[in-house]
Amino acid sequence: MPVSIITNNYSVLAVHSKAGADSVASLIALARANPDKLNYASAGSGTSPHLAGELFMSLTGVRLTHVPYKGAGPGFAALLGGEVDMMFVDVYIALPHVRAGKLRALALSGGRRDPLLSGVPVMAEVLPGFEFQVWQGMIAPVGTPAVVVSRVSAAVAEVVKQPEVAKRLADTGWRRWGGRRGRRGRGGIEVSRCRPAYGRFRYRPPPLQEPSR
């Protein structure tokens, strides 16, 4: 059951400079003309870059080839080396390579633009219905008393307000959240958004549980 969402983050759809796409529209057109030929990297099956790619395919109808790597690092290295065409990757990781011209940032997966990537649209602006965020949180065993959940959640909220913690999160590209969300909160929202992606590989997410009273 959910106790607290601590931080959240979004990614950028980055393509190799040789991929032949300079916008989401041109990427979709290229993928439709070449089904299964364009590929995208992930940190492994079921990871957030994989789910983001599956959601992209479910909303556009294009067919891409998923290439799972053993971690985000090897997947991103493959993107930089031109072994794969694209990847949904954390903004702060992709940023220096976008500025150097090695990668192109086509769209952000979150709900708002980022001043660090001026001119890069949010995916929902060009692909309605697409929003994908990654969050990190704390959960507890089913049946945990509500009073315990509330105390831990309040403690987490206080910790992330500390300047040194907030700075460390910001330096690594994470936004502090710190606060309990229940079944209809962020976790439930993201599960609902990703259901089309889950359906592509027949995964059924478990229901979120509320604390006992």
pLDDT of residue 162: 87
- Residues ≥6 apart with Cβ < 8 Å to 147: none
Q: Summarize pLDDT for 88-117 with one digit per residue, the tens.
A: 998 889 999 999 999 999 999 987 888 888
Q: Is the model's pLDDT at 183 over the cut of 90?
A: no
Per-residue H/E/C for 121-139: CEHHHHCCCCCCEEEEEEE
The answer to whether residues 76 and 101 touch, using CB atoms and an 8 Å cutoff, is: no
Give the Cβ contact number of residue 145 at 10 Å: 12
CA separation, residue 89 to residues 24, 52, 125, 202 (Å) = 15, 10, 19, 24
Structure tokens at 74: 């090897």
Strands (E), 17-143: 39-42, 65-68, 86-90, 103-108, 133-139
Q: What is the pTM of this model?
A: 0.75
Q: Summarize pLDDT for 103-153 with one digit per residue, the tens.
A: 999 999 987 888 888 889 999 999 998 988 887 888 889 889 989 988 998
Sign of CA pseudo-dihedral 21, 36, 40, 55: positive
pLDDT band, residue 5 (cuts 50/70/90): confident
Q: How far apart are CA 49 and CA 76, in angstroms?
A: 11
Least confident of 13-22, 26-35, 164-173: 164-173
Rounded to the nearest 5°, which phi and psi values hold at 117?
A: -120, 65
The answer to whether residues 1 and 210 touch, using CB atoms and an 8 Å cutoff, is: yes
Residues of the chain with CATH 3.40.190.10: 12-126
Q: Is 96 helix (H, G, I), strand (E, B) or coil?
A: helix
Cα-Cα end-to-end distance for the chain: 13
The radius of gyration computed from the CA coordinates of the chain, to the nearest angstrom, equals 18
pLDDT of residue 201: 56
Q: Is the model's pLDDT at 202 over the cut of 90?
A: no
The domain made up of 12-126 has a fold known as D-Maltodextrin-Binding Protein; domain 2 (3.40.190)
